[in-house]
Amino acid sequence: MSGGGWTGDPGSDGGVWTPGASESAASPRTPAPGSPGASTGSGNRGDGGGGNGDGNGGGDGDGEVPSEKFSWLRIGPKSPEFDALQPDHVYDLIQRHNCDRAQRQYDVKGSERRAEAPATWNLLKGLIGICFAVQGNEGGWKTAIESYREVRGITTGDCKYQAGYDLLKQVGSFLLEHPDGKVEFGEAPTGPGSAACPYRVTDLYFPIGNVDEAAPGDIVEVHGTWPSEVRHVFLDGKKQDVRPLSEGDEDKACCHKGITLFEVPQNLQPGTEVKKITLAGDGFELTAPRGFTVKAP
């Protein structure tokens, strides 16, 4: 797994972090008090002095240190950079282990605006805490537990929220039950179906006033989520070039809630029904939910 600051013995598929270890491990920076990665107690993951977060103290009592291995946060795919202060983009920063920048975005958002979606931002606060914790800042575990308590049971949200909730629930539940346990992280899941958000074309947008109709030369917008940049659009199997987005909007092309443009070919006759629209990129093809009819200019 990428990212620095791991302690323990990195395995072939990830690293190891023991939450109860000393806070002498190096950390990229010390977060400000009250921020997701900041420690507000003794460095243990709880509200008391070395307990399970409930103030009851103590370890597991059997002499063995329990351990659990989790997959890292699922790949989004990435949301456009223009969405920098939105939850989806902060999720991407955490997924890439960019803890410092994720925290900055969290702080810049401000408490008033975060209060508009408290569950989402509490979830992100906990994930930022985990991000800092695996880089050596023990206070992150406490933040993760506190945030898990805030969002526990709030499972309704978009795809990245649900993926983040799954990880926070796994880590938070384990640390509450095993305050002296060992947490291990492997790589993020890969392969078909492993992304937090499904790859699909969600909708088509035609020139104003048209419903599933477009004339030769018209520009059609395709919205959806894809794993990487869309290279070509196929209309009933015939390849069309992707049109560039307007200046300043280039970042919207990829990949979560992305936009792709294509021009209706000049040689299509009015009345032609385009039944299949396919987006293609490196190693993927996605089919739109519907086609369109060519109308006269």
In the structure encoding, which two tokens stand for residue 21, read together? 């270890």
Chain-centre distance of CA 217, in angstroms? 37
* Distance in angstroms (rounded) separating the CA atoms of residues 226 and 294: 26
Burial 20-49 (b: 16+ CB within 10 A, else e): beeeebebbeebeeebbbbbeeebbbbbbe
Instruction: Label residue 180 by pLDDT band (50, 70, 90).
Output: confident
pTM: 0.75
pLDDT for res 210: 76
Which residues contact residue 2 at a Cβ distance below 8 angstroms, ignoring those fewer than 6 apart?
A: 96, 97
∠ Cα 125 126 128 (to 5°): 65
Q: Which range has the worst mean pLDDT, 62-71, 112-121, 149-158, 171-180?
A: 62-71
Tell me the pLDDT tens digit for each residue of 184-217. 899 999 988 899 999 999 999 999 877 899 999 9
Q: Which range has the worst mean pLDDT, 101-110, 142-151, 176-185, 219-228?
A: 176-185
Q: Which range has the worst mean pLDDT, 28-42, 72-86, 168-182?
A: 28-42
Would you say residue 268 has pLDDT above 80? Answer: yes
Would you say residue 11 has pLDDT above 60? Answer: no
* Average pLDDT over all residues of the chain: 81
* Distance in angstroms (rounded) separating the CA atoms of residues 214 and 207: 7
Instruction: Label residue 62 by pLDDT band (50, 70, 90).
Output: low
pLDDT for res 28: 36
User: Average pLDDT of 165-176?
Assistant: 97
* Distance in angstroms (rounded) separating the CA atoms of residues 225 and 255: 5
Give the residue, 210 or 146, on which the prediction is more confident. Answer: 146
